[in-house]
């Protein structure tokens, strides 16, 4: 199963992707990967630092938004980028997410950096569960 695909034709000025996953947790991981890969070439990113993210939200949709938003936030507040994620979601009310994010501090000299994400948007934001699994569509402001 493909993890994610970048989309053309939705937005001109920014980036968009569809992420997939058999389970919700896998979906979240792949969406996070899709988000991160916009910013850096994974081949040039090391896995030196692990950061734990814990979030709660009212539903899975909000949870995904907050999760990706947090990844963007950490990029600026702590200069961190990640290339591996392990996500656990507890489905009781409210939904709780625990994620281990593995990556490294940003280094312009040694890493191949790409686009700077300004924000996760609600534009066409969608999270749905189908017979094949989970799917999300996210548009990012670059």
> What is the rounded CA–CA span in Å between residue 68 and residue 4?
14
Find out whether 120 and 140 touch, Cβ atoms under 8 Å.
yes
Judged by CB under 8 A, which of 19, 24, 63, 81 binds another protein? 81
Q: Which two tokens stand for residue 55?
A: 């979030």
Cβ burial of 3 (10 Å; 0-12, 13-18, 19+) is middle
Q: Does 110 bind another protein (CB under 8 A)?
A: no
Contacting residue, 44, 79, 110, 132, with another protein by CB under 8 A: 79
Which of 23, 47, 76, 94 binds another protein (CB under 8 A)? It is: 76
Q: Which stretch binds another protein (CB under 8 A): 24-32, 84-92, 94-102, 110-118?
A: 110-118
For position 114 contacting another protein by CB under 8 A, the verdict is yes
Please report how close the Cβ of residue 20 comes to another protein at its closest, in angstroms. 18
- Residue with smaller CB distance to another protein, 1 or 8: 8
**The binder of another protein chosen from 51, 84, 86, 123 (CB under 8 A):** 123
How far, in Å, CA of 63 to CA of 37, rounded?
Answer: 20
What is the C-alpha to C-alpha distance for residues 19 and 138, in angstroms, rounded to an integer?
8
User: Per-residue b/e over 99-111, b at no fewer than 16 CB within 10 Å?
Assistant: bebbbbebeeeeb
E strands present in 25-67: 49-57
Stretch touching another protein by CB under 8 A, among 19-27, 74-82, 95-103, 130-138: 74-82
**Which stretches of the chain bind another protein, using CB under 8 A?**
6-15, 39-40, 59, 61, 69, 72-73, 75-77, 79, 81, 105-108, 112-116, 118-123, 125, 139, 141-142
């Amino acid at each position: 199963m493909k993890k994610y695909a970048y989309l053309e034709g939705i937005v001109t000025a920014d980036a968009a992707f569809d992420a997939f996953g058999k389970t919700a947790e896998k979906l979240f991981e792949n969406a996070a990967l899709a988000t991160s890969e916009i910013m850096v070439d994974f081949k040039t990113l090391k896995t030196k630092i692990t950061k734990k993210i814990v979030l709660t939200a009212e539903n899975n949709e909000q949870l995904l938004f907050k999760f990706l938003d947090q990844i963007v936030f950490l990029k600026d507040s702590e200069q961190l980028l990640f290339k591996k994620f392990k996500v656990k979601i507890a489905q009781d009310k409210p939904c709780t997410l625990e994620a281990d994010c593995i990556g490294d501090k940003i280094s312009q000299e040694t890493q191949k950096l790409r686009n700077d994400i300004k924000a996760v948007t609600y534009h066409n934001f969608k999270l749905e569960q189908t017979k094949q699994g989970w799917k999300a569509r996210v548009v990012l402001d670059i």
